[in-house]
Structure 1
Amino acid sequence: MSLKIYSDGGSRGNPGKSAFAVVVTRNGEILEEYTEFLGVHTNNYAEYRGLICAITKALALKDDDVEFVMDSELVIKQMRGEYKVKSPDMKELNDDAKTLSSLIPNVRFTHVRRENPMISRADFLLNQTMDRN
């Protein structure tokens, strides 16, 4: 069965203290959780860093069918090519995410509302990380 990887990034202030979290699942079961403090950055930067980490986790698991799930409609639409990336800093992150995700044969990018339980879990984890730093 395919992997479903949830990621969320956030900052307190924009820019401000930032972090991301990733929740890796298969068949609804959590396989791994990961979070990282990023220092002072924008929310979009944190969202992209979370997605890049999620893609890296998928590549390490060598799964050829992966769905990446985020509550960032902007990042999801940029990854699908529905929105252009205007910021040079975000363009580099978007290029990195696209290059990495192209190594996965069957990849999907899905937007969900923040109320999604796994996105809520990722949000909780990243806020814990920001609290500790």
Structure 2
Amino acid sequence: MHGLPGNGHVQGHADAPAGGRDRELRELRPNPGARLTTLRLRADGGARGNPGPAALGVVIEDDQGMRLRTFHRFLGVATNNQAEYQALIEGLKAVADWKPDRLEVYLDSKLVVEQVNGKWRVKESELKELHKQATELLQQFGDRVTVSHVGREENRGADKLVNMALDERVKKPKPSG
């Protein structure tokens, strides 16, 4: 059967932390004859503490807002900005094989958006390699991609996935009393 890449099963990830796994929450397969003209990538990363336990969440939608794929992954210890970049990188890798006519990327990290759009310099040494990876992946889409900043509310699906990944791996303190 043709369609979108992936098989919808839980998949391990070569660069996932030991014992870590990607989780395919849902993957829909549109009609194989349908052409994906526009895809929307909503990505988010977060850390509890900075640095602290971190995770990413990705939502891929068609131009009507139908979710085609969602996934989240625990990253181990990272800063919130490292997690935001990782979310963008993993999301771009996930949509690369689909070759949409247009890709709209939405992030709630103003820092990452402005840096990948070339408006802000990357000052932090720990972000330089991640920035390089992200911009190389973005260049594969040429002028068919836009990267835009949105508020957290508009990115809540990806944000929820980040929190799911963190909740699965990070023990919450027991309430005292």
Which band: TM-score by shorter chain? Answer: over 0.9
Q: Name the TM-score, length of structure 2 as normaliser.
A: 0.72
Structure-1 separation of matches of 2:101 and 2:57:
22
Larger Rg: 2
Number of aligned residue pairs: 131
- The residue that corresponds to 1:58 in the other structure is 95
What SS does the aligned partner of 1:13 have? coil
Extract unaligned runs of 5+ from structure 1. Answer: none
Q: RMSD of the alignment, in Å? A: 0.8
Q: Cα deviation per residue 1:32-68 (whole Å; 9 max; x = unaligned)? A: 0010100011000000000001111120212231011
More helix by share: 1
Matches within 5 A, 1:116-131: 116=154, 119-131=155-167
Structure-2 separation of matches of 1:23 and 1:89:
25
1:112 aligns with 2:147: no
Structure-2 separation of matches of 1:122 and 1:110:
15
More strand by share: 1
1:24 aligns with 2:60: yes
Structure-1 separation of matches of 2:125 and 2:51:
16
4+ long deviations beyond 2 Å: none
Structure-1 separation of matches of 2:129 and 2:85:
10
User: Taking CA–CA contacts closer than 8 Å with sequence separation of 6 or more, which of the two structures ends up with the larger relative contact order?
Assistant: 1
